[in-house]
Chains A and B, each alone.
Chain A
Amino acid sequence: MTAVQTDTDTAVYALRLGDDALVLAQRLCEWAARAPQLEEDVALLNLALDLLGQARSLLTRAGELAGPDPNGTVRTEDDLAYLRDEPEFCNALLMEVQSGDFGRTMARQLLVSAWQVPLWTALAASADEGIAGVAGKAVKEAAYHLDHARSWVLRLGDGTAESHRRLQQGLDDVWPYAAELFERDALLDRLVERGVAADPALLEPQWRATVQAVLAEATLTVPETTWRPTGGRRGQHLTGFGYLLAELQHLHRSHPGATW
């Protein structure tokens, strides 16, 4: 393996993107054998598998870019996924919001995928070749995820009184968490300057246009809120995140090095 030039900023960025994908994949996996119908069960896990694939590449890249620790060890995707604790995860809070009912799961997916499509499109031209490589593949996956979420939001939003009520409730529940996707910090400023990261200021209008068009067609109301929960990027997570990690990490921690 050729040594990768250590780059702490880009390592953190890759970790953020990787954690987003990993945590949302884990949330979607909770639907296994519980979806409304067999076909949707498979569809949701297909989304999760796409995200898991993205997470693997991004976490591997994050480990390489972070470079060896004082013992000379480079952390692998498994080390990063299974052996970090809650405050070390830097996913956006939207990814870890509890899935709730199917309506909330689809509302969350719409908000995430409408962000990921322009995100991966922009990152396909990232100055970091590892991130650009993931983005080139992920943009097609995200486009399908958006199509899937949009299809259900339209059907449920513009469906029966009960499906409309549930989808609006789910949307109201997850909406405040979306603002965090477009937050800037000093690290992001530096990486946007270097052409490594996507500029949130350019993603936000695209996200808003996509989401508003779907919600309007689905006869749903865009929630109005000034509450903007934040902290995921800094390791401050929601109640329930520890349980998610416990389920994710239990096997690896109980049987270190276990393989199929």
Chain B
Amino acid sequence: MSQPLWEVFVRSRRGLSHTHVGSLRAPDAHMALRHARDVYTRRQEGVSIWVVPAAEVVASSPDEKDAFFDPAGDKPYRHPTFYTVPDEVQHL
């Protein structure tokens, strides 16, 4: 029985982002959401679920890894480490 694959994202609590937790198979979006509830939130892992058709996810290719990511490797100045943060600044 071949059913579409769905990617599952769960928000663990208010204020946090939805995080990818895994995938599952389901005939449609309605059932995918319910299966996600049953398979991935059995231990109170979440307060919100997204399911996304895996076929709709556009992913970068491993072949392009070098061109995509290596150029950022020698640019440490992009990290916010070249200035001092005043002590008074909170919640940065």
Query: Hey, which bits of chain A sit against chain B, CB under 8 A?
Result: 36-40, 42-43, 46, 147-148, 151, 155
Contacts and interface: CB of A to CB of B under 8 A. Distances in A.
B8 to A, nearest CB: 10
Contacts of B34: 43, 147-148, 151
Contacts of A39: 24-26, 35, 38-39
Interface residues of B, number: 14
Given A36-B1, A37-B25, A155-B28, 6 more contacts: A38-B25, A39-B35, A39-B38, A42-B35, A42-B38, A43-B39
Nearest to A36: B1
A38 B26 CA distance: 10
B31 interface: yes
Contacts of A37: 1, 3, 25
Contact of A43 (B1, B3, B25, B38): B38
B43 to A, nearest CB: 11
Contacts of B42: 42, 46
Contacts of A38: 24-25, 39
A24 B9 CA distance: 32
Overall SS of chain B's interface:
mixed
16 contacts: A37-B25, A39-B24, A39-B25, A39-B26, A39-B39, A40-B35, A42-B38, A43-B34, A43-B35, A43-B38, A43-B39, A46-B42, A147-B34, A148-B34, A151-B31, A155-B27
Contacts of B30: 151
Nearest to B35: A39
Contacts of B39: 38-39, 42-43
Interface string B18-61: 00000011111011001100110010000000000000000000
Nearest to A39: B35
B86 to A, nearest CB: 50
A39 B40 CA distance: 10
A102 to B, nearest CB: 12
A43 B3 CA distance: 17
B53 to A, nearest CB: 15
B31 A155 contact: yes
A46 B38 contact: yes
B77 to A, nearest CB: 47
A98 B45 CA distance: 34
Contacts of B27: 155
B32 to A, nearest CB: 9
